[in-house]
Structure 1
């Protein structure tokens, strides 16, 4: 897989041996997800999957954060439908079929859709100062891109409900304690540590890794199909509500939202 060239895409790709490094590349927008990033990430992951010389991918963010979620200025755009529910669902990634492992290398923050992207990866390495959370209720939305259902599947029910319903952020220490992180590094070390993990995996037999991934994903998907159906039923009702319009508008205008409950 060759590196992409100018004009600079929303997702950069490069390779180191059998490892593909994917970089979300909207740093001035905190790598928030829009249509360009969605299409570029989907295409990059498909290219990684199709290249038999690549065994593992590492996904990172350019700039100060991993990913701040969906670009809220893009919510009302008709093209947002592709970002949310197109092939691969959110960001073209969170439900995109894959045979190979992807490791998230998180620095700064993985919030809202950014955390959902991290949770869709197979493993995650994060720096000690990284922050996580699903703050969608604070802007009149809901974490329907896999965040709620994956936290519900991986955490004790009481803790999953607390994090989902309060929308509070939490640090890497708590994320590791909850089992959401594979490794925690000092600041500045996430990519290097993710690469060490990726190279350790890539040194193994490719067919063994893909067979193991298939078994792991089969176990996960046994329950995911119904959860995605529930998500698709709830989300359209919410997105057409007055509150779903008010929340992002208040965020952009830097004011407190005025909820109507409609």
Structure 2
């Protein structure tokens, strides 16, 4: 395991084979995100998207806490909000990576922390994890995607209660609602997320990325146009060298050698 670069302030970025591990490391601030950390997250995701050898990312927080969201102390002292011009709040919520990203959540994922998890494609949580949008209790709005993504993922009234009360949801409740893919013992979320990332990374990268794009974009496609609109993505993958390699590997009973083309 080697670091992709010297760890930037507030963030550790580590390459583990074809998986990029991003870990917020600000335990003294409960892994709250300040502007330098948001900038580092955005830069790491830019690297992730551009590097063909990296196929899946895992996002987590060190010290048993996912993230308490925006660093309010830094905000009150400097007025700087943790927003990247391109990727938005916390360096991710406006423009998540085009490749799959998994949240490994331990402890609190509150405010922007919950919004980061909502921006990820999959969520693995320790059984003691808590998810919430307490912004209304602080005179703020959950404008980092909480008010937009949560109602799209759970029933309207459940989302409404969460955003109007600011009360947290347990990992078990989030799993019941479909927000969490798997619950594991406390302390095991990162290991489980890395195992899941390895499974995804073994698959054809072009097919994985196109599949993610269709799932996300199809929600806005008119029903009668959905098959036509996905055809451009399907044809690009179907005509790729990796599609031929996948078929050949299946017939020859060997592991495919993906070339990302």
**Range class of TM-score, shorter chain:** 0.7 to 0.9
Counterpart CA distance in 2 for 1:153 and 1:85 is 24
Q: Provide the aligned C-alpha RMSD in A.
A: 1.8
Note if contact 1:39-1:92 (Cα within 8 Å) is conserved in structure 2. yes
Tell me the number of residue pairs that the alignment of Structure 1 and Structure 2 aligns: 220
What is the TM-score normalised by the length of structure 1?
0.80
Q: Any gaps of 5 or more consecutive residues in structure 2?
A: 223-261
Relative to structure 1, the CA distance from residue 187 to residue 156 in structure 2 (aligned partners, 3 Å threshold; closer, same or farther) is same
1:20 counterpart SS class: strand
1:92 counterpart SS class: coil
Counterpart CA distance in 2 for 1:157 and 1:215 is 24
Question: Is residue 199 of structure 2 the alignment partner of residue 200 of structure 1?
Answer: yes
Matching residue of 2:64: 64
Q: Any gaps of 5 or more consecutive residues in structure 1?
A: 224-262
Matching residue of 1:29: 29
Matching residue of 1:16: 16
Note if contact 1:132-1:169 (Cα within 8 Å) is conserved in structure 2. yes
Note if contact 2:131-2:168 (Cα within 8 Å) is conserved in structure 1. yes
Matching residue of 2:132: 133
Matching residue of 1:242: none
C-alpha displacement of 1:98 = 2.4
Matching residue of 1:109: 108
Relative to structure 1, the CA distance from residue 221 to residue 72 in structure 2 (aligned partners, 3 Å threshold; closer, same or farther) is farther
1:40 counterpart SS class: helix
Counterpart CA distance in 2 for 1:221 and 1:41 is 28
Structure with the larger RCO, 1 or 2 (CA within 8 Å, 6+ apart): 1
Counterpart CA distance in 1 for 2:161 and 2:96 is 30
C-alpha displacement of 1:2 = 4.7
Deviation per CA, 1:143-179: give whole Å up to 9, x if none.
0110111111111111111111010012110010011
C-alpha displacement of 1:9 = 2.5
What is the TM-score normalised by the length of structure 2?
0.80
Counterpart CA distance in 2 for 1:126 and 1:84 is 26
Matching residue of 2:49: 49
Deviation per CA, 1:84-119: give whole Å up to 9, x if none.
463211111101252200000000110000000000
Question: Is residue 8 of structure 2 the alignment partner of residue 3 of structure 1?
Answer: no
C-alpha displacement of 1:11 = 1.2
Report matched runs for 1:52-201 at 5 Å.
Answer: 52-76=52-76, 77-80=78-81, 83-84=82-83, 86-201=85-200
Report matched runs for 1:204-215 at 5 Å.
Answer: 204-215=203-214
Counterpart CA distance in 2 for 1:117 and 1:72 is 16
Counterpart CA distance in 1 for 2:9 and 2:184 is 29
